[in-house]
């Protein structure tokens, strides 16, 4: 059994999962956190279930071998398509971001009409639809696949007329509907929250699962006796490909001191 001082490991396909790291740092300041962004293979959203499961299993195996006491899958695509497999394979607690996002959406909606924006893989999996309807059968769910957003975010185009135009195109039908809740179904998307809010229009509540995910992680650690009660924890950031200038942009938006960054190679399965 790992010790309470062992790190929580967080992974995503790129820099977007730092939104979850930011929420974890606020909610659990004593915890040590290791973040791995799979920048060599980003984006995950257009890849098959088999590929996403393989990528995710390779990453989690490395993180667990390095001593992680818990793993947070800070990627909606991997949470939708690989979480079940990961929980079967690995002995440590593994938490995704979909269930916390669903809980927050159900608490926010008043009309009972929830819109989910995400990658093609996340929307195609219907993971949000099924989880929302399992909790509330009368809920109405509209999914919007937004494949251009992650590349725009990774290029640092957070306040750009091209990004605004893409968002207006994707969310054009939202203003004419009775939907009142918009789930940011990709951990990159909170970095675009101001632009998304403009495109969505007034009266729409944006739901980011990061804060709820941090609360769930804290509960897991308490229940398993793994909560770190020590001084302020550290953050170690790793990527599978050297990060570009956008790491600094994302860190600034989120108020994260990422420090020096390590580039790590993920061993293929079977090695």
| Per-residue pLDDT reduced to its tens digit, 38-77 | 999 988 988 999 999 999 999 999 999 999 999 999 999 9
* H or E stretch at 105: helix 98-108
CB 68 within 8 A of CB 86: no
pTM to 2 decimal places: 0.91
Residue 14 within any structural domain of the chain? yes
Residues 120 and 87 in one domain: no
Q: Confirm whether 186 is a catalytic residue.
A: yes
What is the CA angle 242-244-246, rounded to 5?
Answer: 135
- CA 87, CA 90: separation in Å to the nearest integer? 6
- Answer yes or no: is 2 within a domain: no
Pair (91, 215) in one structural domain: yes
Q: How far apart are CA 199 and CA 25, in angstroms?
A: 29
Cβ(154)–Cβ(44) below 8 Å: no
Pair 56, 118 in one domain: no
Per the domain annotation, does 269 fall within a domain? Answer: no
| 77-106: b (≥16 Cβ within 10 Å) or e | bbbbbbbebbbeebebbbbbbbbbbbbbbb
* Pairing of the two strands 235-239 and 94-95: unpaired
pLDDT at site 271: 62
Q: Which domain holds residue 118?
A: 98-207
Residues 124 and 187 in one domain: yes
140-157 average pLDDT score: 93
Q: Supply the CATH number for residue 88's domain.
A: 3.40.50.1860
Does 270 reside within a domain?
no
Domain total in the chain: 2
- 213 labelled catalytic: no
* 148 and 198 housed in the same domain: yes
Task: Note whether 42 and 124 are same-domain residues.
Answer: no
User: Does 59 share its domain with 14?
Assistant: yes
Q: Name the active-site residue from 75, 146, 213, 238.
A: 75
Does one domain contain both 136 and 180? Answer: yes
Pair 170, 106 in one domain: yes
Evaluate whether residue 268 is within a structural domain: no
Average confidence score pLDDT of the chain: 93
Within-domain flag for 36: yes
Q: Give the model's pLDDT for residue 220.
A: 92
Cβ partners under 8 Å of residue 78, min gap 6: 11, 12, 13, 44, 52, 55, 56, 96
Q: Do 79 and 157 fall within a single domain? A: no
Question: Could you tell me if 92 and 103 lie in one domain?
Answer: no
Domain end point (choices 207, 228, 243): 207
Q: How many CB atoms lie within 10 A of CB 173?
A: 11
15 within 8 A of 243, measured Cβ to Cβ: yes
Residue 242 CB: number of other CB atoms within 10 A? Answer: 10
3 occurs within a structural domain: no
Of 207, 224, 247, which closes a domain? 207
Catalytic entry in 146, 186, 213, 238: 186
- pLDDT in the model for residue 211: 87
Query: Is 20 in contact with 244 (CB distance < 8 Å)?
Result: no
Which residue, 163, 189, 207, sits at the end of a domain? 207
Q: Are residues 131 and 175 located together in one domain of the fold?
A: yes
Instruction: Encode pLDDT of 72-130 as tens digits.
Output: 999 999 999 999 999 999 999 999 999 999 999 999 999 999 999 999 999 999 999 99
Q: Is the pLDDT of residue 216 over 70?
A: yes
219-258 residue pLDDT tens: 999 999 999 987 889 999 999 998 877 788 788 888 888 8
Check residue 223 and give its pLDDT: 92
C-alpha of 96 from chain center: 8
């Amino acid at each position: 059994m790992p010790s309470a001082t062992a790190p929580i490991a967080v992974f995503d396909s790129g820099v977007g999962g730092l939104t979850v790291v930011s929420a974890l740092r606020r909610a659990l300041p004593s915890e040590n956190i290791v973040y791995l962004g799979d920048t060599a293979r980003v984006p995950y959203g257009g890849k098959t279930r088999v590929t996403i499961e393989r990528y995710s299993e390779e990453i989690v195996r490395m993180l667990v071998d390095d001593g992680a006491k818990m793993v947070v899958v800070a990627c909606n695509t991997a949470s939708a398509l690989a979480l079940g497999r990961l929980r079967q394979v690995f002995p440590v607690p593994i938490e995704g971001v979909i269930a916390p996002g669903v809980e927050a959406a159900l608490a926010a909606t008043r009309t009972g009409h929830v819109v989910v924006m995400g990658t093609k893989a996340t929307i195609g999996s219907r993971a949000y639809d099924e989880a929302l309807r399992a909790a509330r059968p009368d809920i109405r769910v509209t999914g919007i696949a937004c494949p251009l957003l992650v590349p725009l975010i990774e290029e640092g185009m957070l306040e750009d007329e091209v990004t605004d135009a893409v968002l207006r195109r994707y969310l054009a039908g939202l203003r004419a509907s009775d939907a009142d809740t918009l789930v940011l179904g990709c951990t990159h998307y909170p970095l675009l929250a101001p632009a998304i809010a403009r495109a969505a229009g007034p009266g729409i509540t944006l739901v980011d699962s990061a804060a709820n995910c941090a609360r769930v992680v804290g509960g897991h650690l308490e229940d398993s006796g793994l909560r770190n009660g020590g001084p302020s924890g550290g953050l170690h950031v790793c990527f599978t490909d050297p990060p570009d200038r956008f790491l600094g942009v994302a860190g600034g938006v989120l108020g994260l001191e990422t420090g020096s960054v390590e580039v790590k190679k993920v061993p293929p399965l079977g090695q």
